[in-house]
Amino acid sequence: MTTNDPLVSTEWLASHINDANVKLLDATFKLPGILPLPKDDYLAAHIPSAVYFDVDAVSDHSDPLPHMFPSAAQFGRDVGALGVSNNDTVVIYDAGGWVAAPRVWWMFLSYGHRDVRILNGGLKKWRAEGRPVQAGEVTAKSATFKATYDERRVRSIKQMIANVASRAEQVIDARATERFEGRAAEPRPGIRSGHIPGALNLPYNNLFDAATGTMKPLDEFKKAFAGADVDTAKPIVTSCGSGVSAAVLTLALYRLGVENTALYDGSWSEWGKADGPAIATGPA
């Protein structure tokens, strides 16, 4: 594909799903403790030919933080085991709540694979249109994937602490306003409530239509970022609870032509730890 828009439609996928070089990944994800487990949802019903991409499995298992970016070598091994090669067009979807598909899309970009797309509306729109699903696990034939990590797309806590002082990059937090302002408890135990000092807040669910599962029009993106006091002409880092829903903001910015943003991988699961850096509460 030659388009720069990361999204593909259900119509496009239906007409290309059997192409040999199109590899479909189901990246359904949920917060800890929510049942049924995302893998069980996948096994119950997924788009035909889709292989399950486990966000928690394709991660750095030596890091106690949730689903942190793995090494390039591990990412290459893991996605190769899912049948993805460097020559493939990768199409990712989730259940339709825009949680993990953008995270996996950003991971592929961060490891050097540009031919990667997201199904607009995900499984929700696919099923609403009466398109086929299948149950059970799809086992792919292993492929070779060579990954090269682009560290410019990801931020560490050390970089984020330095940024609090320099304010060189705007930090946009994708969590719900109640969590951002410190008025609601965090879903992960032992994590403080609040936000990174100086951060702005734009809840990720403001960027898609909950009824259809599709992303909102670009004009509404512009209004949403402007309403959150984000200057899209200046450097941006996205953040959230654990580095997943932040990528929804990353995706929206990318679709507006703001492609050189970064994602704070540890996000609030790292910053909000009891012994973490200083926090702020209240509105941005």
Angle between helices 101-110 and 246-255 (to 10 degrees): 70
Q: Identify the bridge partners of residue 89 per DSSP, sorted by sequence position.
A: 22
Distance CA 130, CA 240 (A): 33
Angle ∠(142,146,151) on CA atoms, nearest 5: 135
Angle between helices 218-227 and 246-255 (to 10 degrees): 120
Catalytic: which of 50, 160, 199, 240? 240
Distance CA 114, CA 116 (A): 6
Question: What are the angstrom distances between the C-alpha of 134 and each of 24, 41, 45, 53?
Answer: 13, 11, 5, 16
Distance CA 205, CA 148 (A): 31
Sign of CA dihedral 191, 193, 199, 204: positive
Cis peptide before 235 (omega within 30 of 0): no
Distance CA 221, CA 89 (A): 26
Residues 237 and 271 sit within 8 Å (Cβ to Cβ): no
Three-state DSSP state, 105:
helix
Question: What are the angstrom distances between the C-alpha of 25 and each of 46, 104, 188, 202?
Answer: 10, 9, 27, 27
Q: Is 240 a catalytic residue?
A: yes
Residues 94 and 100 sit within 8 Å (Cβ to Cβ): yes
Q: Which residues are catalytic?
A: 240
